[in-house]
Amino acid sequence: MSLSRSPSPHPGGGWSSPGLTPGSGASTPGGHSQATLAPNGISWAAAKAKSDEVRKYPSFSTRNSGFFSRQKRKISARLPSFRGQASRQGYVDKDVYGRGQLHAGGPGGCGPLATLKMGETWKTNEGYVTAIVQLYRRSPLGGGPKFVIILGSNVEGGVMEWKGAREWAIERNSIWNKQQYVKRWGYQLEIANMLAQKRYSHEWRESWEKGDVIREVMRKYPHAEWFWWLDLNTWIMEYGTSLQSHLFNDLDSHVYRDINEYNPLNMTHPLPEFFLDDLGRALEGDGNPDSLSLLLSQDCSGFNLGSFFLRRSIWTERLIDAWWDPVMYEQMHMQWEHKEQDALEYIYQSQAWVRSGVGFLPQRKINAFPPGACGDGNDPAVHYQEEDHDFVVNMAGCNFGRDCWAEIYNYRAISSKHNRSKWEWISDRLGSAREWAFGKKD
């Protein structure tokens, strides 16, 4: 079948991404197959409808009501569709893992039906316990409501308000990943719509939305204390690790406040001005972890705001207020390529009051990079180490010459392996034992 217009970046039509091509749910990044009209084929309209469901997540309403937003239905109605027998829902979501059916006797199954029944009973009981535990974690007593994850997303679309299949897949997967994590620990998730960026007009500050979004979220969750910003191209690898155990129960031991420990921008610290007070010239601030309100990591080129924490405090209000200023913006917006990130680096350098509230975390603590970001090697200070079960991976800069979907797909698989339940682990072991004993089933 030849298409007059391809609905995806792949010239031959069809889904050009691993995990999006029908029948390629388990494929690895790299190869891709042509779209075929299999019985389980994916219809374009159904896929589009499924993608539109993303809009049901809580988000900040877009300021953009451009031509494409208004004409979307008319345009998509004219697009070619893949004819084929649709699934019950009209769409087979191959790109989200963990939704496959467990077939008795299948390669991942464990053979005898009795074992399966026993496993199901175990899973049911485990489900009750999990529900009670999650209920406790969601309560103020469990500490869950103290944490909000803010996911910087782009619900509507990309350039000209249109996104390719890969972008939709990345977004859905990333949102799903954060939902799984917050569900487990009773945290809150806020999906912030980062669409409204009038990139080339100066009456709107160019993608300087982090501060505004965080302020809004703080207003929306008045009882939350810590707000964790995550970019869309991040993946929480370890669902079993809570923020409390990972960081906040013993914040002091994880944080360094003296930027000289790792100082890629070669900032002068402490500030040398004689007229500053002791706090303004202190290497380690006041030494009290309770005064920390911003936790972030540095990569090879300076501050990285792909994953950072802000505490609700007067200090934070002031930081968000000072972060964007028209006089500063007017003079520097051409030099500040990374916008808020560069502005934050700048005010950290120039305004002494900022330093006392900032704590730095080793990069792999909250922001491990894949190879290709900050060098192609495997730097143990920077790059994700599977054997150490690093907490978060940030596919930083993957849209500049790397393949975001392939990277997310890869880390999703690793994460899936790390986060198997006891039952899945036993099931996998039995499956591999069966394969070893009887050979692999074709």
Partner 1 sequence: MQFALPPRRSLHTLPGANSSRLPLYRRKQLKTIAIFAFAVLTLLYLLSRLFSSSSTSLSPPAGTAGMVIVTLLDRQSLSESYINKIVTNREDYAKRHGYTNFFASVSDYEEAIGDAPRSWALIPAMRHAMATYPKSKYFFHLSPHALVMNPTTSLKSHLLDRSRLESLMLKNVPIVPPDSIIKTFALKQKDVDLILTQDGEDLSPSSFILKNGDFARFFLDLWFEPLFRSYRFAKAETHGLDHIMQWHPTVLARTALVPQRILNAYSKDSSGASQDGSYKDGDFVIRFPSCDEGKARDCDELDPYYSMWSKKAKST
Residues lying near partner 1 in the complex (CB under 8 A)? 273-280, 314-315, 317-318, 321-322, 325-328, 331-332, 347, 350-354
Closest CB 280 distance from partner 1, rounded Å: 7
Closest CB 205 distance from partner 1, rounded Å: 12
Q: Which residues pair with 191 in a beta bridge?
A: 151
Closest CB 228 distance from partner 1, rounded Å: 23
Rank residues 343 and 396 by Cβ distance to partner 1 and give the closer one.
343
Rank residues 145 and 211 by Cβ distance to partner 1 and give the closer one.
211
Rank residues 141 and 327 by Cβ distance to partner 1 and give the closer one.
327
Closest CB 305 distance from partner 1, rounded Å: 20
Lookup: tokens for 176 = 């799903």
Lookup: tokens for 343 = 């502005």
Give the residue among 337, 329, 332, 324 at the shortest CA–CA distance from 397. 337
Rg of the chain, C-alpha, whole Å: 24
Rank residues 92 and 354 by Cβ distance to partner 1 and give the closer one.
354
Closest CB 276 distance from partner 1, rounded Å: 6
237 class by beta-carbon count within 10 Å (0-12 exposed, 13-18 middle, 19+ buried): buried
User: Which residues are CB-neighbours of 325 under 8 A, at least 6 positions away?
Assistant: none
Closest CB 353 distance from partner 1, rounded Å: 5
Residue 42, Cα to own-chain centre: how many angstroms? 26
Rank residues 128 and 275 by Cβ distance to partner 1 and give the closer one.
275
CA separation for the pair 292, 279 (Å, rounded):
13
Rank residues 6 and 313 by Cβ distance to partner 1 and give the closer one.
313
Count of beta carbons in the 10 Å neighbourhood of residue 55: 12
Closest CB 195 distance from partner 1, rounded Å: 26
Q: Are 295 and 303 in contact (CB under 8 A)?
A: no
Closest CB 347 distance from partner 1, rounded Å: 8
CA separation for the pair 329, 427 (Å, rounded):
57
Residue 90, Cα to own-chain centre: how many angstroms? 27
Rank residues 246 and 333 by Cβ distance to partner 1 and give the closer one.
333
CA separation for the pair 140, 163 (Å, rounded):
39
3 state DSSP class of 438:
helix
CA separation for the pair 74, 438 (Å, rounded):
55
Rank residues 331 and 421 by Cβ distance to partner 1 and give the closer one.
331
